[in-house]
């Protein structure tokens, strides 16, 4: 009955946003991992304890900094902790806990002590930064075996290090310096969450800032499909960026203008309702959102993710878009000078035969050119001014609402 090859189990689409928003996958993954590793006598009481602390530690980063020669990693960790309020677990902390020099201890003893420090109430709820504690691959493996898994492993690379892509890093030879071998062993253990920061000539504040920004990016247990909305005035390059995302990230480009034309001409019930609205169709947000909902529930959008352009127009549209079964999890505002937008639209022409769009400034007509290029009625200069002024006010209101209610809004 539980064989997934005989009866595949899929979550209903309306469950996906809730599971992603509250990190349900990560929660059950953590409960299962801790149960298997710690093997508590009372598993029910143990799970209650994890759930009690889950709200405090849901988005807490757990950082391990790989030591590099001549780089004061402890100073970097302390400065990060001042911003994030994490607990710094350093070599001195480890020595105090062990009551002897860590170099005299086995990897298992070091890992067991670090596991105890990482599971203290303060470190569990606030997160931790381990620095200068794990020095060998054996110690790293022992730590992972005890269930202490950092969410981020940061390797601070000194400016005098050779490029890590060079062949010198590909094979570990016995005559290499011990520190170099240990560094590469640590990178191999934590390669799935490893991030490199090349220090170069940057200041301490710049390095700390990049570390903090990296710690905000969480890798989920189950991959989250991007559901993007690109907003901005017409002519700012929304469709161009959406095409790049489609080509490079394999996302589905959901072009609202194309969708609404298809729905309008269809013989479906939705198409009939749209035609009944006539010129006032743009004021019926509930119908417009249904057009989008039908498309984003197709198999390709659910499996690949999507990027939407051309919608929404108003904050009412936003509310209906957010109520869909799979609402967007990222909203990106493209900022562009309005004069630049107007200039782009003013030089835009449509091929009346193929429907393709051409910029006559970049690709002017030449003698013998058989293209029939005409200005689209919506690119009339007065209409452009009115549209840009309207969208500017509506997008400002929408952006203000979005930023006050969610964390997925970017510029």
Return the domain boundaries, the chain: 60-215, 227-336+380-410
E strand or H helix at 160, and its extent? Answer: none
3-state SS class at 357: strand
3-state SS class at 223: coil
The DSSP secondary structure of 367-409, one letter per residue, reads: TT----EE--GGG-HHHHHHHHHHHHHHHHHHHHHHHHH-S-E
Q: Measured between alpha carbons, how far is 251 from 32 in angstroms, rounded to an integer?
A: 32
Q: What is the mean pLDDT of residues 247-257?
A: 92
CATH code of the region 60-215? 3.40.50.300
DSSP code of 310?
S
CA distances from 58 to 42, 51, 193, 218 (A): 23, 10, 18, 11
Task: Find the radius of gyration of the CA atoms of the chain.
Answer: 28
C-alpha closest to that of 230 among 376, 335, 76: 335
| Top-confidence residue, 394 or 77 | 77
The number of angstroms, rounded, from the C-alpha of 304 to the middle of its chain's C-alpha atoms is 15
C-alpha closest to that of 86 among 62, 113, 58: 62
Pairing of strands 152-157, 62-66: parallel
pLDDT of residue 78: 94
- Choice among 49-63, 149-163, 249-263 with the minimum mean pLDDT: 49-63
Neighbours of 291 (CB within 10 A): 20
* pLDDT of 129 strictly over 90: yes
E-assigned strand segments in 243-384: 252-255, 306-309, 330-333, 348-351, 357-359, 373-374
CATH class of the structural domain 227-336+380-410: alpha beta
Pairing of strands 227-231, 306-309: parallel
The tens digit of pLDDT for each residue in 281-295 reads 777 888 888 899 989
Angle formed at CA 45 by CA 142 and CA 219, multiple of 5 degrees? 50
Same fold, 60-215 and 227-336+380-410: yes
| Top-confidence residue, 195 or 30 | 195
Among 120-124, 219-223, 267-271, the range with the most confident prediction by mean pLDDT is 267-271
Pairing of strands 252-255, 306-309: parallel
Q: What is the mean pLDDT of residues 97-122?
A: 88
The DSSP secondary structure of 170-192, one letter per residue, reads: TS--TTS-HHHHHHHHHHHHTGG
| Top-confidence residue, 294 or 173 | 294
pLDDT of residue 407: 46
Q: Measured between alpha carbons, how far is 262 from 337 in angstroms, rounded to an integer?
A: 32
pLDDT of residue 397: 53
């Amino acid at each position: 009955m539980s064989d997934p090859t005989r009866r595949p189990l899929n979550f209903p689409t309306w469950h996906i946003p809730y599971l992603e928003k509250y990190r349900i996958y990560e929660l059950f993954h953590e409960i299962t991992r801790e149960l298997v590793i710690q093997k508590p006598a009372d598993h029910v009481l143990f799970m209650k304890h994890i759930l009690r602390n889950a709200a405090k530690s849901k988005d807490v980063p757990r950082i391990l900094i790989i030591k590099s020669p001549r780089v004061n990693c402890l100073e970097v960790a302390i400065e990060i902790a001042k911003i994030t309020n994490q607990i710094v677990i350093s070599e001195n902390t480890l020595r105090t806990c062990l009551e002897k020099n860590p170099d005299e201890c086995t990897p298992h003893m070091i890992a067991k002590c670090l596991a105890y420090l990482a599971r203290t109430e303060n470190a569990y709820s606030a997160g931790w930064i381990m620095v200068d504690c794990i020095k060998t691959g054996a110690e790293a493996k022992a730590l992972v075996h005890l269930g202490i898994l950092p969410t981020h492993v940061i390797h601070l690379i000194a400016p005098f290090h050779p490029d890590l892509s060079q062949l010198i890093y590909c094979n570990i030879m016995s005559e290499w310096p011990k520190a170099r071998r240990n560094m590469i062993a640590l990178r191999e253990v934590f390669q799935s969450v490893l991030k490199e920061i090349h220090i170069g000539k940057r200041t301490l504040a710049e390095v700390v800032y990049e570390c903090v920004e990296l710690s905000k990016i969480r890798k989920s247990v189950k991959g989250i499909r991007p559901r993007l909305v690109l907003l901005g005035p017409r002519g700012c390059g929304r469709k161009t960026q959406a095409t790049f995302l489609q080509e490079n990230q394999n996302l589905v480009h959901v072009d609202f203008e194309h969708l609404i034309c298809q729905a309008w001409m269809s013989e479906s019930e939705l198409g009939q309702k749209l035609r009944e609205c006539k010129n006032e169709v743009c004021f019926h947000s509930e119908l417009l959102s249904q057009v989008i909902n039908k498309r984003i529930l197709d198999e390709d959008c659910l499996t690949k993710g999507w990027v939407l352009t051309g919608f929404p127009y108003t904050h009412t549209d936003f509310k209906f878009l957010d109520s869909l079964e799979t609402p967007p999890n990222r909203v990106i505002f493209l900022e562009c000078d309005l004069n630049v937008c107007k200039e782009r639209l003013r030089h835009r022409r449509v091929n009346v035969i193929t429907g393709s769009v051409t910029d006559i400034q970049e690709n002017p007509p030449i003698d013998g050119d058989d293209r029939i290029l005409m200005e689209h009625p919506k690119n009339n200069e007065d209409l452009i001014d009115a549209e840009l002024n309207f969208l500017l006010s509506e997008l400002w209101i929408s952006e203000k609402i979005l930023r006050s209610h969610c964390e997925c809004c970017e510029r």
